[in-house]
Amino acid sequence: MIEQLKDSYKTFESQLNGLGQGFWQELRTRTLHSFSGLPKPKDEEYRYTQLGRILDKKFQFADLSMMGRTSVHGANALFHNADAHHIYINNGVIDQSKVSQNLPKGLSISTLQEALHHNAKDIESHLGKYAIKNNDAFASLNTIFSYEGIFIKVDKNVQIDKPILLHYSGTDHPGHAIYQSRSLILAEPGARLSIVESYSSDHSEDHFSNHVSEIVVGANALLDYYKLQNQSASTYHVDNTFITQSKDSVVKSYVFTLEGKIIRNNLNVDLEDENCETHMFGLYVAHGDNHIDNHTVVDHKMPHCFSNEIYKGILDDTAKAVFNGKIFVRPNAQKTNAFQSNKNILLTDTASMNSKPQLEIWADDVKCSHGCTTGQLDDEQMFYLRSRGISKASARAMLLHAFVDDVLDKISIGFLHDFVAEEMKNRLD
């Protein structure tokens, strides 16, 4: 496997031409040398999601070396009419013509390659620095085989009113069954912004998309960060997101997963300084043989930080989901307040859920709580509703809506809220 990858890398490198030098190239080589292969069957982190084996069987990793130039059509993208700063990425390839149009002062959006020239210092201080933190094989693969990506920076004390909307789409394209996408997002101290990553796909053939986001949130900055994963039933998708927060910053992250063959999200939040606040909301509604795996880590390193995590899932048919939520409270992190909840409803006997909260607490003056529940709809509530004349189907829909609504209500972007609410209605009614 590793030898095969090294061969692919050679092919890849030979195509890089002018891109194969300098900081990024050193990062690639370094990562390749320390790469130890895809997760093995007994790897604890991938125990319930045997991605290593599945991907190895299904995909030719030689495809990693393909540098496609697919054309991008943003006109059909979901939300293309939304009042936002739009960026279109198709099969990992950025539509450069639209990247930096009409940007307000204090907001820079460019490709990573451009940023390597214009914002060399930013790139060299941040690119790849966070993506090695969890030693994830897919994050490393991304670092090794990425040659492009999106760079977003909001300057000090600048507030960006419109959301920045990244449309990640996938379309069937020969030789493009595997593709990578990557972003580096910097919010300088006091900056305020919201980002929406919308993943869609009209692939009919199996394909694997591998994404990495590195996000650095400066002191007192505010970030709302949304992921909408609405790909096709033949999508294998791995997302590694690394959020690093400085003093007094507030981040709200949201992950909505609506479709995909196997989706694996690794969300890592580092609270590097005092008085950070982080919220992590997740909602997955799985059907058919969807397999949705959310691994989250929130690392409390300093005192007086607050983390609040709510992940909810509804599983139908033979869908499977995994939740693994780690909370670290380091010795220094006194007065930490950490909360975690994972709730799941199984609609069939054949759906299954593996939920595992993991709290590691080294400080002694902290408040941490966690809870997870997995079950069917509450019989008592069903009977109560039906005893008032409400049909079984309506009662079921009412309870499912009630279950998801507290997460839905937290979406502060109108067009996104309406879309997810409508999707819920279509699926739950």
Which residues of this protein are in contact with another protein, per CB under 8 A?
378-381, 383-392, 394-395, 398-399, 401-403, 405-406
Q: Between 103 and 398, whose beta carbon lies closer to another protein?
A: 398
Q: Between 335 and 386, whose beta carbon lies closer to another protein?
A: 386
Pick from 117, 57, 61, 109: which is nearest to 88 by CA? Answer: 109
161 CB neighbour count, 10 Å cutoff? 10
Contact predicate 280/295, CB 8 Å: no
CA 179 from chain centre, in angstroms, equals 16
CB of 147 to another protein, least distance (A): 47
Q: Are strands 85-90 and 164-170 parallel, antiparallel or unpaired?
A: parallel
Q: DSSP string covering 53-66, please? A: HHHHHH--GGGGG-
Contacts of 286 (CB under 8 A, 6+ apart): 257, 292, 313, 314, 315, 316, 319, 320, 321, 351
CB of 228 to another protein, least distance (A): 22
Q: Between 364 and 379, whose beta carbon lies closer to another protein?
A: 379
CB of 395 to another protein, least distance (A): 8
389 CB neighbour count, 10 Å cutoff? 7
Q: Between 372 and 390, whose beta carbon lies closer to another protein?
A: 390
CB of 388 to another protein, least distance (A): 4
CB of 367 to another protein, least distance (A): 23
Please give the span between the terminal C-alpha atoms of the chain, in angstroms, as a whole number.
Answer: 46
Element (H, E) at 408: helix 392-408
Pick from 257, 208, 209, 203: which is nearest to 229 by CA? Answer: 257
Indicate if the alpha-carbon torsion angle 212, 324, 45, 333 is positive or negative: positive
Q: Between 362 and 383, whose beta carbon lies closer to another protein?
A: 383
CB of 352 to another protein, least distance (A): 25
Alpha-carbon distances of 397 from 168, 283, 315, 348, rounded to whole Å: 31, 16, 14, 15
Compute the distance between CA of residue 122 and CA of residue 148 in angstroms, rounded to an integer: 16
Pick from 117, 113, 144, 115: which is nearest to 128 by CA? Answer: 144
Quick one: tokens of 285? 């509604």
b/e per residue, 356-372, with b = 16+ CB within 10 A?
ebeeebebeebebeeeb
Q: Between 230 and 374, whose beta carbon lies closer to another protein?
A: 374
CB of 381 to another protein, least distance (A): 5
Rg (CA), the chain: 21
Angle at Cα 266 formed by Cα 238 and Cα 53, nearest 5°? 45
Q: Between 120 and 402, whose beta carbon lies closer to another protein?
A: 402
Compute the distance between CA of residue 290 and CA of residue 232 in angstroms, rounded to an integer: 10
CB of 398 to another protein, least distance (A): 5
CB of 382 to another protein, least distance (A): 9
Q: Between 233 and 397, whose beta carbon lies closer to another protein?
A: 397
Q: Between 67 and 399, whose beta carbon lies closer to another protein?
A: 399
Q: Are strands 93-94 and 85-90 parallel, antiparallel or unpaired?
A: antiparallel
Q: Between 152 and 395, whose beta carbon lies closer to another protein?
A: 395
CB of 369 to another protein, least distance (A): 18
CB of 259 to another protein, least distance (A): 24
Q: Between 23 and 384, whose beta carbon lies closer to another protein?
A: 384
